[in-house]
Amino acid sequence: TETDDPVRFAMVGLGWWTREQAMPAVASGDLCETTVLVSGDREKAESVAADSATVDHAVTYEEFHDGAASEAYDAVYVVTPNARHLPFVETAAELGKDVLCEKPMEATVDRAEQMVAACNEHDVTLMVAYRMHTEPAVRRAKDVVDAGYVGDPVFVHGNMSEPILELVPDPDQWRLDWELSGGCATMDIGIYSLNTARFLLDADPVRVQGSVASVRPEFDDVPDEHAAFQVDFPDHTFAVCTASQNAAMASHIRVTGTEGEVRVEPAFYPWDERRLHVSHGGSDIDVSFEQIDQMEEEFEYFSHCLLTGEDPYADGEHGLVDIRALKGVYEAAEDGRVVEL
Ligand code: NDP
């Protein structure tokens, strides 16, 4: 059963997502609250803290690693660039704090494995922050597939694309820096098609192949301004996924089966008003979904797990499957190989 005491979160990394999405979501949730902010920039942390009714402590990364204010939070939410997740998760685990870590969990397979090992060693709960598992439209799509309404799934098609340099007009941003990101379109947004395909099929990939390309000079440091990859699931179900950081903003996921089809479109952006389309035996159903706060749903779910001792669905091993598959795409794209997972 849940207690009356909400889970107290330390937010690590105060970028746009933390300030504009996560903090308001936690403020409106019943099971969680933000009590500590952790930043490389003390002044920023203090000014964000001043705007919050629940934050009591603003600390630097160094102070966090030294255990500052550790009595004031129960769990951490890690929202730094991908290749800067591991050190914060390791410190949190050593302090006995549970972890909600942003996707993709780290920039390399090795570092993602170290993250899982640290959380296991210190017996803390680790969840990777995928928004789609608690999204009502995607959950209904899963119900449709699970009920056999599309027959046996044959194909999944997924796309997510955006003009990142228009959204974040900074050529030096970490998403375009291989060392900080571990990959561009594939790692940052290709992960949505892959992970949602796994969720809808209730299966894990067995092999990948793919192509990547960087065309504009701003993408010189990463191989994948654009990416297209194929993911094979057991029983010959194929997912074909595309992702671009330099194309029109669009997203969808579709499962085609022996008897019909289910599609969520738009699918992956938090501000989308999702629509679910189902076709079966010559009839079509089209359902609109009210926009919900995906981050509130996600924080409430994670907090519920911590308060009840339930294991979260997207644990560290779940996140690792994505990192192995996505890193496999880069390997496959180098020389057109098929990479077995
Ligand atoms: P931002 O660039 O907006 O913020 C990242 C923050 O990390 C910075 O503001 C900074 O915070 C901190 N930071 C620490 N080290 C560095 C560094 N070397 N370079 C730059 N920033 C650093 O990124 P996002 O918030 O967009 O992304 C952060 C993480 O969240 C990523 O893993 C990303 O994939 C994930 N994300 C997930 C989303 C989702 O829908 N689930 C949506 C958006 C992002 P400070 O100044 O406080 O130190």
Both 47 and 167 in one domain: the answer is no
The verdict on the CB of residue 91 being under 6 Å from ligand 1 is no
Residue 324 lies in a domain: no
Residue 233's nearest CA partner among 160, 159, 156 is 156
User: Is-contact 162 267, C-beta < 8 A?
Assistant: no
Residue 327 lies in a domain: no
Q: Show the tokens assigned to 172.
A: 């030096």
State the distance from the centre of ligand 1 to the C-alpha of 164, rounded, in angstroms: 14
Residue 157 lies in a domain: yes
For the stretch 71-126, pLDDT in tens is: 999 999 999 999 999 999 999 999 999 999 999 999 999 999 999 999 999 999 99
The verdict on the CB of residue 16 being under 6 Å from ligand 1 is yes
The amino acid sitting at 306 is L
- How many angstroms from the chain centroid is the CA of residue 310? 20
pLDDT band at 3 (very low <50, low <70, confident <90, very high): low
Both 263 and 155 in one domain: the answer is yes
The verdict on the CB of residue 41 being under 6 Å from ligand 1 is yes
Both 99 and 163 in one domain: the answer is no
pLDDT band at 183 (very low <50, low <70, confident <90, very high): very high
Both 125 and 209 in one domain: the answer is no
Both 264 and 116 in one domain: the answer is no
Both 115 and 186 in one domain: the answer is no
Beta bridge partners of 256: 155, 261
Q: What are phi and psi of 188, to 5 degrees?
A: -80, -45
Residue 330 lies in a domain: no
Tally Cβ neighbours within 10 Å of residue 4: 6
The verdict on the CB of residue 103 being under 6 Å from ligand 1 is yes
Residue 90 lies in a domain: yes
Both 273 and 303 in one domain: the answer is no
Tally Cβ neighbours within 10 Å of residue 67: 12
State the distance from the centre of ligand 1 to the C-alpha of 17, rounded, in angstroms: 7
Atom 11 in ligand 1: residue holding the nearest Cα = 13
Query: Who's near 50: CB < 8 A, 6+ residues apart?
Result: none
Q: How far apart are CA 9 and CA 249, in angstroms?
A: 32
State the distance from the centre of ligand 1 to the C-alpha of 85, rounded, in angstroms: 10
State the distance from the centre of ligand 1 to the C-alpha of 209, rounded, in angstroms: 29
pLDDT band at 60 (very low <50, low <70, confident <90, very high): very high
State the distance from the centre of ligand 1 to the C-alpha of 201, rounded, in angstroms: 30
Q: At what angle do helices 191-201 and 316-335 cross, to 10 degrees?
A: 120
User: Is-contact 38 64, C-beta < 8 A?
Assistant: yes
Q: Show the tokens assigned to 296.
A: 């509130």
Q: What is the arithmetic mean of pLDDT over 39-51? A: 97
Q: Which of 11, 12, 14, 17 to mutate to test the pocket of ligand 1 (most atoms within 8 A of CB)?
A: 17
The verdict on the CB of residue 39 being under 6 Å from ligand 1 is yes
The verdict on the CB of residue 273 being under 6 Å from ligand 1 is no
Both 225 and 287 in one domain: the answer is yes
CATH number, domain of 261, equals 3.30.360.10
* Residue-number span of the structural domain to which 171 is assigned: 132-292
CATH number, domain of 99, equals 3.40.50.720
Residue 252's nearest CA partner among 270, 267, 238, 235 is 267
**153 pLDDT more than 90:** yes
Domain count, the chain: 2
Is the ipTM value over 0.95, yes or no? yes
Residue 321 lies in a domain: no
For residue 2, what pLDDT is reported? 54
Q: Which of 80, 184, 196, 293 to mutate to test the pocket of ligand 1 (most atoms within 8 A of CB)?
A: 80
For 269-287, the DSSP string reads -TT---EEEEEETTEEEEE
User: Is-contact 321 311, C-beta < 8 A?
Assistant: no
In terms of residues, how long is the chain? 341
Residue 83 lies in a domain: yes
The amino acid sitting at 312 is P
Both 121 and 177 in one domain: the answer is no
Q: How far apart are CA 173 and CA 277, in angstroms?
A: 36
**245 pLDDT more than 60:** yes
- 333 class by beta-carbon count within 10 Å (0-12 exposed, 13-18 middle, 19+ buried): buried
Element of type H or E holding 163: strand 153-163
Element of type H or E holding 228: strand 226-233
User: Is-contact 284 277, C-beta < 8 A?
Assistant: yes
User: Is-contact 311 43, C-beta < 8 A?
Assistant: no
Residue 36 lies in a domain: yes
Q: What is the arithmetic mean of pLDDT over 182-193? A: 98
Q: What is the arithmetic mean of pLDDT over 215-241? A: 97
Angle at 175 between CA 187 and CA 238, to 5 degrees: 20
Stronger pLDDT, 340 or 271, i.e. the higher one: 340
Both 98 and 202 in one domain: the answer is no
Both 100 and 187 in one domain: the answer is no
- How many angstroms from the chain centroid is the CA of residue 192? 7
The verdict on the CB of residue 190 being under 6 Å from ligand 1 is no
State the distance from the centre of ligand 1 to the C-alpha of 187, rounded, in angstroms: 14
Residue 290's nearest CA partner among 71, 136, 59, 96 is 136
Strands (E), 13-103: 32-39, 57-60, 75-78, 98-102
**261 pLDDT more than 70:** yes
- Mean pLDDT for all residues in the chain: 97
Q: What is the arithmetic mean of pLDDT over 165-188? A: 98
The verdict on the CB of residue 269 being under 6 Å from ligand 1 is no
Atom 36 in ligand 1: residue holding the nearest Cα = 102
For residue 182, what pLDDT is reported? 98
State the distance from the centre of ligand 1 to the C-alpha of 108, rounded, in angstroms: 17
Both 285 and 301 in one domain: the answer is no
